[in-house]
């Protein structure tokens, strides 16, 4: 309880300081070391064929207070979701009377690095799967449980727990499997397509203007290595497709459903754009 | 001399077009995209009614209207927090641009700065795909709001 109160108080302080941030260009020069132990690769050289030379985590674009929250796993409010996710992992649910742990016994070994390799081609479904879709498939087929509704608290917590098991491991999508390359192409096309009344593409903001303030927001490269991320503004965990939809909505466009082909293609492509950046889940963002 | 431009009466052809084309546009206003921007200029007023700089100042700052501060700093509005830095600082904009140029920039910046600009076109229907139905077929600013914003921009002088 005391921990929780302290966490919330720190969060609030960070938000307040965050709102008075002054203009400053570019990513900050700093190192992310979690609990003084685990160094995270937040700046890495870009893969071949990438529009940037260097890939930079969104962490470098946040205020010192927000960065500190992420560097301290005791203060990081997202860690509550990791704990909750671990509980879910071990809890029996559904008609088959099983938990995730019933089949995937040694969670630490099974999950290590797994989240860093998603999205991943799923042959049976004939499309790329992210962690959320894989969870739902195991719930339906292996547990005879209801699939989670998009952004259900348990979906976010379990996804956060799974991704967290790859903390500090480099993100990598395997484009050689199945039709991944086609999905990558489709995602790329979407990334450069202008949407909405404001007529903006992902690239307009995240490729052309990263490092600049747009109103109170310091634009980053829009990388996905911290998802699900804890957002101070919403005091909640935010899933990747929620973030995508928010960015699309901000162009005054209708946004596609979560896990639709469009957003899965975007996830494949945008994950590739962050190739080699370490997983930070749960990252803290403003 | 640019002041005079707002008093030109509308050519009959354009007035007719406006009535036919845009249900949103009141009679007598120029419909979106019906007057071409040429050589980075649009000298014709969209409404024939002189712009009101005070109303323009409000539309400029209003997040649901111009939201110009999202990308531009402007010392005249320093009381408002969070001026963006994506576009140039607008102090002295009226020293750099004529009324006809400022109108063209606000109406459809793509016709002035090129297709790649991040600045939205505020009085055009040449926009992105999948426009939310709340905004479909509508321009970001009304014709009179454009005139008001232009009148406001003309007050941003340093010399």
- Assign domain A27-74+171-285 to its CATH superfamily: Cytochrome c-like domain (1.10.760.10)
Judging contacts by C-beta atoms under 8 Å, the chain A residues touching residue B84 are 212-215
pLDDT at B125 over 60: yes
Residue B62 has pLDDT above 70, yes or no: yes
Cross-chain Cβ contact B86/A199 below 8 Å: no
CB A163 within 8 A of CB A131: yes
Q: Among the listed ranges A154-163, B27-36, B64-73, which one has the minimum average pLDDT value?
A: B27-36
Minimal-distance CA residue of chain B relative to A250? B132
Q: Check residue A256 and give its pLDDT.
A: 98
Decide if A127 contacts A263 (C-beta within 8 A).
no
Instruction: For residue A69, give the nearest of A156, A25, A6, A116 by alpha carbon.
Output: A6
Name A284's bridge partners: A230
CB spacing of A213 vs B133 below 8 angstroms: no
What pLDDT, on a 0 to 100 scale, did the predictor assign at position B27?
60
**What global pTM score does this model have?**
0.91
Closest CA relative to residue A35, chosen from A74, A80, A66, A9? A74
The pLDDT assigned to B32 comes to 98
Give me the residues of chain A with pLDDT under 70, please.
Answer: 1-24
Please state, in angstroms and rounded to a whole number, the distance separating the CA atoms of residues A222 and A201.
12
What's phi and psi for A18, nearest 5 deg?
A: -55, -35
CA distance B103 to B95: 14
| Contact criterion met (CB < 8 Å) for A197 and B83 | no
Name the B residues in 50-69 with CB < 8 Å from any A CB: 67, 69
* Predicted pLDDT of residue B159: 80
Domain ranges of chain A: 27-74+171-285, 78-164
Angle at A180 between CA A177 and CA A183, to 5 degrees: 175
- Judged by a CB distance cut-off of 8 A, whether residue B83 touches chain A is yes
Q: In the A/B pair of chains, how many CB contacts fall below 8 A?
A: 85
B91-110 pLDDT, tens digit per residue, is 999 999 999 999 999 999 99
Q: What is the pLDDT of residue B28?
A: 82
Q: What is the pLDDT of residue A26?
A: 86
**CB spacing of B85 vs A23 below 8 angstroms:** yes
Q: What is the DSSP letter of B56?
A: H
Residues 6+ apart with CB under 8 A from A5: none
pLDDT in tens, A195-236: 999 999 999 999 999 999 999 999 999 999 999 999 999 999
What is the chain A residue with the closest CA to B119? A198
Arithmetic mean of pLDDT, B64-68 = 97
User: Does A282 sit behind a cis peptide bond, omega within 30 degrees of 0 on the bond before it?
Assistant: yes
Is the complex ipTM more than 0.95?
A: no
B137 touches chain A (CB under 8 A): no
The span from the CA of A125 to the CA of B106, in Å, is: 48
**Nearest CB to A254; choose among B69, B83, B132:** B132
If one looks up domain A78-164 in CATH, what number appears? 1.10.760.10
Q: Do B121 and A199 touch (CB under 8 A)?
A: yes
Mutate to test the interface with A, among B73, B78, B81, B132 (most CBs of A within 10 A): B132
Report the Cα A80 to chain-centroid distance in Å: 16
Preferred mutation among A203, A252, A257, A266 to probe B, highest tally of B CBs within 10 A: A252
**How far apart are alpha carbons B70 and A252 in whole angstroms?**
15
Q: Quick one: tokens of A191?
A: 């990334």
């Amino acid at each position: 309880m005391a921990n929780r109160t302290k966490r919330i108080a720190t969060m609030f302080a960070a938000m307040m300081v965050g709102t008075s941030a002054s203009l400053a260009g570019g990513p900050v020069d700093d190192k992310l070391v979690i609990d003084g132990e685990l160094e995270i690769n937040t700046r890495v050289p870009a893969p071949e064929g990438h529009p940037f030379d260097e890939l930079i985590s969104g962490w470098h674009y946040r205020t010192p207070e927000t960065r500190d929250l992420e560097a301290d796993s005791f203060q990081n409010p997202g860690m509550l979701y990791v704990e909750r996710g671990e509980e879910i992992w071990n809890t029996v649910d559904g008609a088959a009377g099983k938990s995730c742990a019933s089949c995937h016994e040694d969670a630490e070994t099974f999950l290590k690095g797994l989240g860093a390799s998603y999205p991943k081609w799923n042959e049976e479904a004939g499309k790329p799967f992210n962690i959320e879709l894989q969870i739902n498939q195991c719930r339906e087929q292996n547990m005879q449980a209801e699939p989670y509704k998009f952004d259900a608290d348990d979906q976010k917590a379990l996804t956060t727990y799974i991704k967290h098991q790859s903390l500090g491991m480099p993100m990598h999508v395997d484009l050689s499997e199945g039709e991944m390359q086609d999905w990558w192409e489709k995602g790329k096309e979407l990334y450069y397509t202008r949407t909405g009344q404001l007529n903006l593409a992902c690239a307009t903001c995240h490729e052309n203007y990263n490092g600049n303030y747009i109103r109170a927001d310091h634009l980053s490269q829009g990388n996905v290595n911290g998802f699900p991320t804890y957002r101070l503004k919403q005091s909640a965990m935010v899933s990747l497709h929620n973030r995508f939809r928010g960015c699309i909505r901000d162009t005054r466009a209708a946004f596609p459903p979560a896990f639709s082909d469009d957003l899965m293609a975007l996830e494949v492509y945008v994950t590739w754009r962050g190739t080699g950046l370490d997983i930070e889940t749960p990252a803290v963002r403003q | 001399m640019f002041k005079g431009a707002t008093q030109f009466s509308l050519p009959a052809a354009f007035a007719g077009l406006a009535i036919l084309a845009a249900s949103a546009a009141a009679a007598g206003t120029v419909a979106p995209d019906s007057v071409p921007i040429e050589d980075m200029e649009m000298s014709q007023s969209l409404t024939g009614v002189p712009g009101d700089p005070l109303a323009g100042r409000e539309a400029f700052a209003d997040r649901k209207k111009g939201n110009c501060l999202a990308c531009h700093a402007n010392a005249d509005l320093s009381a408002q927090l969070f001026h963006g830095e994506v576009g140039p600082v607008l102090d002295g904009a009226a020293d750099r641009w004529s009324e006809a140029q400022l109108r063209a920039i606000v109406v459809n910046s793509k016709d002035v700065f090129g297709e790649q600009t991040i600045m939205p076109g505020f009085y055009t229907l040449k926009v992105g795909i999948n426009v939310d139905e709340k905004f479909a077929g509508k321009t970001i600013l009304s014709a009179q709001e454009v005139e008001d914003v232009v009148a406001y921009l003309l007050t941003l002088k340093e010399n």
